[in-house]
Amino acid sequence: MNTTVGVIGGGQLARMMIPAAVNLGIELRVLAEGEGMSAGLAAVQVGDYRDRDVVLAFAESVDVITFDHEHVPQEILRELVSRGVAVHPGPDALLYAQDKLLMRQRLTELGLPVPDWARVETAAELGEFLAGHGGRAVVKTARGGYDGKGVRLVSHEHEADDWFAALAEDGNAGALLVEELVDFRRELAQLVARRPSGQIAVWPVVETVQKGGVCAEVIAPAPGSEGRLEQLAADIAVRVAEGVGVTGMLAVELFETSDGRLLVNELAMRPHNSGHWTIEGSTTSQFEQHLRAVLDLPLGATDARDPWTVMVNIIGGPGVGALSERFPAAFAAHPSVKVHTYGKAPRPGRKVGHVTAGGSDLDDVVYQTRATAAIFQD
Amino acid sequence: MNTTVGVIGGGQLARMMIPAAVNLGIELRVLAEGEGMSAGLAAVQVGDYRDRDVVLAFAESVDVITFDHEHVPQEILRELVSRGVAVHPGPDALLYAQDKLLMRQRLTELGLPVPDWARVETAAELGEFLAGHGGRAVVKTARGGYDGKGVRLVSHEHEADDWFAALAEDGNAGALLVEELVDFRRELAQLVARRPSGQIAVWPVVETVQKGGVCAEVIAPAPGSEGRLEQLAADIAVRVAEGVGVTGMLAVELFETSDGRLLVNELAMRPHNSGHWTIEGSTTSQFEQHLRAVLDLPLGATDARDPWTVMVNIIGGPGVGALSERFPAAFAAHPSVKVHTYGKAPRPGRKVGHVTAGGSDLDDVVYQTRATAAIFQD
């Protein structure tokens, strides 16, 4: 039984794998981008994940390679696989988390519901798409976007000229992804885990509330999702996981349209912010499940432990020093709320922690979590 | 806000503080007895806790000192305090966890219910106690006992002669503790946490099942304890915590007598095996609460998350190799049971892990946990 998991990337997702690893008794090694990263409490080696030799040497010390982010270059991932290293998720799957154009193309091939989209290489092509979609659209860079970066709402064909120019300068025969502006009621996220041998586990679908392109809150389960919506979301996510061959955690971000359809927005092939509620809120957290899945161990139960669980992110603001300065006030006022901080210096807009609470009264749980997060943000 | 906690001792109790520390964002440093200890995933320094210079140097790097065990010598603890180091629990309290004779004396002074006891220095004195208590009694060494070691059931005054001889050889003007053999229905344990500033948090009283002097199972709450028993147990533990001045976690092991009284058996001033169920079973685990308490932070809510939570220890047996070899069978059969292993090599009688499950059907929860633990023990 191989139980040393190597995580490439030392951010908060790797950090939150540590408690799960300690509890089970699984050894975790982290290849971090720098000193003092969030996951610094695990056995950490510092090195550049874009450096082939660094990654190959790191892989020698572990039984399976997984990730805190999706940025490891395909050629390095493929060399690992060709050398017999277990890599989960593998390069064939990760490709679709790395490149949004390929993702849209693959999901369309699989017959999954997605917004109208097109690959555009020129302002003229963008203009053509705008003309066919009411004059407004969302333009995305195929690679490198996250938390609202690389995403732009446009209403004129020349509003992406800088991105076209940057793609041209790269000597990259690149293109942008343009998508219809979906008239959505709300955003949902569906988490699933999949083992290499095929077993899949599905959590309840959740509602995610974004502010400024960044996830602010998650409500589990999504209010009113019982029945049709939860079935539909689970079905879509399972089809994505199997169709793309994901191993480990998969988060499928969804739009619920005002006419009741679900459309796939984004994919993440790793533990995801929309699943932090599972640490306390589900019998098996997404972090424990990710470790089980990448080690091809039987998956744990994914039921919710409370009727409602709410997670609110702590976003760094200008006036916030060390988050621990706020522990006395937060703990005294909210003894039932679980506080997580990531060991990151607060900066405006940066996710530096989150809080979670559960209970049977959704209004109260929302109040408790928002009030606690506010103590760390004012 | 000081948030670096130094733990003296690198066993599983220190190990289980790691997830709580990672989640909150508290830095943990461990002074371990050797390489490869259970808590090896934290920032570990290896050194002898009986060496004054080692402990003083370790204390320099942290904001507060706490413990995985109660064995640090009093003179070192007192030097730390005299140098202004925050030590929780402090030497005045720890004394009563280190010396069972002093503990019995103090609890008697406080008017707390304890078994009949005496300090005996000779076989004749032991014989006198036996004569007054139906010819049978329990003899305990004042120091160094745990998990059934240093405890002996005797029915003749010469059955502790070897211990008297050892005390004499030590040049120690020592004595043994002798206690009446309590006619108990069952054993209970009451966990409380206390901050230096006085706040106390109380968990539901639990039933503990011992096998061969070692804790085998814990049922939370103790069946039938609702009402009188839970009040009585909580009251006793709060009086102990305040009377002895404990800071951090306190576990009070209790006998429930066949005539419905509660008597204090043993004290532990640290997270305790009887509280492992709180990791999943309570809103705040004993490990998180211990960190909050020793940092003098407001304590978390201690309610149980399920009607019943059961914890069963994994005890090493002769045929068991690496525990992880049993993960596939255990995880496949029991997806709702949480498995904890401590990174210790299994040896007969050694606690190497535990499993926990919760639910509303006690019989089912007992079955699930026992069956899971058995997979790691056969």
DSSP β-bridge partners for residue B218: B208, B311
Look at residue A143 in the predicted model and tell me its pLDDT: 84
A160/A118 Cα distance (integer angstroms): 14
User: Under an 8 A CB cutoff, do B297 and A25 touch?
Assistant: no
A229, A255, A272, A274, B13 from A233: Cα distances, Å: 6, 10, 16, 14, 41
What secondary structure letter does DSSP report for A254? Answer: E
pLDDT of residue B46: 87
Assign A234 to helix, strand or coil: helix
Q: What is the pLDDT of residue B121?
A: 92
**What's the confidence (pLDDT) of residue B174?**
77
Answer yes or no: are the C-beta atoms of B179 and B117 closer than 8 Å: yes
- Say yes or no to pLDDT of B171 above 60: no
- Give the per-residue pLDDT at A337: 98
Question: What is the interface pTM, i.e. ipTM, of the complex?
Answer: 0.93
Closest Cα in chain B to A4: B324
Of the partner residues A21, A301, A325, the one whose CB lies closest to the CB of residue B1: A325
Q: What are the Cα distances from residue A375, in Å, to A5, A329, B365? A: 36, 7, 38
Position B1 pLDDT exceeds 70: no
pLDDT, average across residues B191-206: 97
B179 is in an annotated binding site: yes
Q: What is the pLDDT of residue B303?
A: 97
Residue B260 per-residue DSSP state: S
Report strand pairing: B184-194 vs B176-180: unpaired
Give me the pLDDT at residue B316, please. Answer: 86
Contact A312, A370 (CB under 8 A): yes
* Residue A361 or B212, more confident: A361
| Exposure string for B49-72, b = 16+ CB within 10 A, e = fewer | beeeebbeebbeebbbbbbbbbbb
Give B305's contacts in chain A (Cβ within 8 Å): 305
Mean pLDDT of B221-247: 97
- Give the closest of A26, A298, A341 to B335, CB-based: A298
Percent of chain A with pLDDT over 90: 81
Mark yes or no for CB contact A24/B340 under 8 Å: yes
Name the H helices within chain A. 12-24, 52-60, 74-82, 91-98, 100-109, 123-132, 161-169, 228-244, 278-281, 286-294, 327-333, 362-375
DSSP structural state of residue B113: -
Nearest to A33 by CA among A45, A42, A21: A45
* pLDDT above 70 for A300: yes
A297/B19 CB distance under 8 A: no
Contact residues of B toward A, CB < 8 A = 1, 3, 15-16, 18-19, 21-26, 28, 41-43, 279, 283-284, 292, 297-301, 303, 305, 322-325, 327-328, 331-332, 335-336, 338-343, 353
% pLDDT > 90, chain B? 81
One-letter amino acid for residue A266 of the chain:
E
Find, in chain A, the residue whose alpha carbon is nearest to that of B1.
A325
Nearest Cα residue in chain A from B27:
A41
Q: Is the pLDDT of residue A145 over 80?
A: no
Q: Is A148 left (phi over 0), alpha (psi -120 to 50) or beta?
A: left
Average pLDDT over residues B328-342: 97
Q: In this structure, what is the dihedral angle of CA atoms B15, B17, B19, B24, given to the nearest 10 degrees?
A: -160
Catalogue all structural domains in chain B, each as residue range(s) with its CATH number. 4-87 (3.40.50.20), 116-180 (3.30.1490.20), 184-375 (3.30.470.20)
Average pLDDT over residues A295-303: 98
For B247, list phi and psi in degrees, rounded to 5: -125, 140
pLDDT confidence tier of residue A317, bands split at 50, 70 and 90? confident
Is the Cβ pair A331, B25 closer than 8 Å?
no
Structure confidence by residue, pLDDT tens digits, B114-165: 999 999 999 999 999 999 999 999 999 988 766 667 899 999 999 999 998 8
Residue-wise pLDDT for A350-374, tens only, equals 899 999 999 999 999 999 999 999 9
Tens-digit pLDDT profile for residues B56-72? 999 998 999 999 999 99
pLDDT value for A2: 65
Q: Regarding beta strands B206-211 and B200-202, do their DSSP bridges make them parallel or antiparallel, or are they unpaired?
A: unpaired
Sort residue B144 into left (φ over 0), alpha (ψ -120 to 50) or beta. left
End-to-end CA gap in chain A: 48
Asked if B22 lies within 8 A of A41 by C-beta distance, the reply is yes
- pLDDT at residue B84, as a whole number: 94
- For residue range B248-307, list pLDDT tens digits in order: 999 999 999 999 899 999 999 999 999 999 999 999 999 999 999 999 999 999 999 999
pLDDT band with cut points at 50, 70 and 90 for residue A167: confident
B180 is in an annotated binding site: yes
Instruction: Give buried/exposed letters for B156-172 (b at 16+ CB in 10 A, else e).
Output: ebebbeebbeebeeeee
Is A149 among the annotated ligand-binding positions? no
DSSP β-bridge partners for residue B215 = B210
In this complex, do A23 and B340 lie within 8 Å of one another by their Cβ atoms? yes
The DSSP secondary-structure symbol of B146 reads -
Residue B12 neighbours by CB under 8 Å, 6+ apart: B38, B39, B342, B344, B351
pLDDT tier for residue A146 given thresholds of 50, 70 and 90 = low
Torsion sign (Cα): A372, A378, B1, B2: positive
pLDDT of residue B166: 84
User: What count of residues does chain A have?
Assistant: 378
Kindly determine whether residue B327 and residue A297, on different chains, have CB atoms separated by under 8 Å: yes
| Residue A100 annotated as lining a ligand binding site | yes
Q: Which of A1, A18, A301 sits opposite B322 (nearest CB)?
A: A1
Residues of A in contact with B292 (CB under 8 A): 331
Segment A173-199 shows an average pLDDT of 94
Q: B170 pLDDT band (50/70/90 cuts)?
A: low
Q: What is the mean pLDDT of chain B?
A: 93
Mean pLDDT, chain A, as a whole number? 93
CA distance B142 to chain A (A): 34
Residue appearing with tokens 């349209």? A257
Q: Is A341 exposed, middle or buried (0-12, 13-18, 19+ CB in 10 A)?
A: buried
pLDDT at B45 (0 to 100): 83
Handedness of CA B31, B295, B244, B259 (dihedral sign): negative
Rounded CA separation B199/B204 (Å): 17
Compare CB distances from B298 to A19, A284, A328 and report the shortest one's residue. Answer: A328
**pLDDT above 60 for A13:** yes
Please tell me the predicted confidence (pLDDT) of residue B18: 94
Would the pLDDT of A294 be above 60?
yes
Q: Kindly list the residues from chain A whose CB atom is less than 8 angstroms away from the CB atom of residue B323.
A: 25
Residue B313 labelled as part of a binding site: no
Question: Is pLDDT above 90 for A262?
Answer: yes
Cβ-in-10-Å burial (0-12, 13-18, 19+) of A194 comes to: buried
CA A175, CA B189: separation in Å to the nearest integer? 66
Task: Look at A18 and B15 and tell me if their CB atoms are within 8 Å.
Answer: no
Positive or negative CA dihedral for B60, B66, B72, B78? Answer: positive
Segment among A93-102, A138-147, B165-174 with least mean pLDDT = B165-174
Residue type, B164: F
Count interface pairs A-B at CB distance under 8 A: 115
Looking at residue B79, the DSSP 8-state letter turns out to be H
Determine the pLDDT at residue A344.
87
Q: What is residue B2's predicted lDDT score, i.e. its pLDDT?
A: 66
With a pLDDT cut of 70, the percent of chain B lying above it is 95
Q: Which residues of A touch B (CB under 8 A)?
A: 1, 3, 15-16, 18-19, 21-26, 28, 41-43, 279, 283-284, 292, 297-301, 303, 305, 322-325, 327-328, 331-332, 335-336, 338-343, 353
- Cis status, amide bond into B307, omega within 30 of 0: no
Which has the minimum average pLDDT: A279-283, B39-43, B73-77, B167-171? B39-43
Residue corresponding to tokens 């200890």: B37
pLDDT category at A147 given cuts 50, 70, 90 is low
- Residue B187 known to bind ligand: yes
Task: Pick the residue of A24, A29, A277, A311 with the most B CBs within 10 A to test the interface with B by mutation.
Answer: A24
CB contact under 8 A, A1 and B25: no
- Per the document, the length of chain B is 378
Distance to chain B for A283, nearest Cα, Å = 7
